[in-house]
Every structure is written in C-alpha cells, then in structure tokens.
Amino acid sequence: MLISTKGRYALRVMIDLAEHQSRGFVPLNAIATRQEISEKYLESIIKLLVKAQLLTGLRGKGGGYKLTKAPEQYTVGSILRVTEDSMAPVSCLSSQSNTCPMATECRTLSFWKGLDKVINDYVDSVTLADLVRTSADGFDYVI
C-alpha cells in the first residue's frame, strides 16, 4: 500500500482545519500557504473532501472551509478512503470480490487479508484529534 500525495495532503488539510476551527471558515489560500501546497492542487483535494461531507464550504467574503464534525469523529481511515483508490496491500483485495483465478489455491491470500485487516484497523483507530494533539505537544509529526 502506498499513500499518494493526495492522501497525505488531505490529512494535512484536515489537521490544519482542526487546529484553526475556532476561526470559523478558513480561506483556501491560508491553508495553502501554511501547508505549502499549491492552491490549484488543494482545490482538487478539498473538492473530494466536501463531496464526501467531511468539510463544508462557504463562498464569498469570510468564506472558506471548515470541518463538518468534531476532530474526534474523523478517523485517518475515513479521510484516506476519500482520496485513495484502494488501501489494500495487494491488488486482488482492492475490490469487494477477489477475481484472481488463483484465489482458491493461493497460499499467501490469508496473509494479505490479515495485513489488510491490520492496516484498516490501525487507520481506523487514529483520529484527527489524535494527530492534532500530537502536533500540539511539540512533536514534529510529518505526514
């Protein structure tokens, strides 16, 4: 499993918004500046997050973006699944039905399924609030 820049940047955006949520709607250019992400690329990521209802946006003066829920209610997994095509460690697990002709005889399939479960359990156990707390304690946590 390889997390794309889109997934990593989505996490950074969500952390940024969680850290600045007391300001209400946060302008796109402010996020882009703080995170050193181009506004154009950031727009495509934010569009996905809004469509998935993880963020809400407001146009015009005083507009921007904000979280739709408290940071404790977002898991890293819920954010990454919006931006990543698959989080599966191998392609045969990337869809609901395993179409591999070797699936019934595959000696490694149970291993890959176990790894997939560990990955999903872990990303679903870490919340956005956990990541905000990590950075607020003075650690230089980089995604």
Task: Flag whether 20 is in a domain.
Answer: yes
Q: Is 136's pLDDT higher than 60?
A: no
Task: Flag whether 15 is in a domain.
Answer: yes
Looking up residue 63, the CATH number of its domain turns out to be 1.10.10.10
pLDDT at 11: 97
Q: Given its phi and psi angles, is residue 75 left (phi above 0), alpha (psi -120 to 50 degrees) or beta?
A: beta
Q: Is 142's pLDDT higher than 60?
A: no
pLDDT band with cut points at 50, 70 and 90 for residue 86: confident
Mean pLDDT of 13-31: 94
Whether the CB-CB separation of 43 and 33 falls below 8 Å is answered with no
Task: Flag whether 110 is in a domain.
Answer: no
- Give backbone dihedrals phi and psi of 58, rounded to 5 degrees, phi first: -135, 125
Counting the structural domains of the chain, the total is 1
d(CA 131, CA 92): 31
Task: Flag whether 11 is in a domain.
Answer: yes
pLDDT tens, position by position, 94-127: 877 767 788 788 899 999 999 999 999 999 999 9
The residue range of the domain holding 50 is 5-87+127-136
Task: Flag whether 97 is in a domain.
Answer: no
Task: Flag whether 95 is in a domain.
Answer: no
Task: Flag whether 114 is in a domain.
Answer: no
d(CA 64, CA 62): 7
Q: Is 14's pLDDT higher than 80?
A: yes
Specify the pTM. Answer: 0.85
Task: Flag whether 49 is in a domain.
Answer: yes
pLDDT band with cut points at 50, 70 and 90 for residue 64: very high
Name all contacts of 38-47 with Cβ < 8 Å and 24+ positions apart.
41/9, 42/9, 42/13, 44/6, 45/6, 45/9, 45/10, 45/13, 45/83, 46/13
Tokens of 70: 């408290």
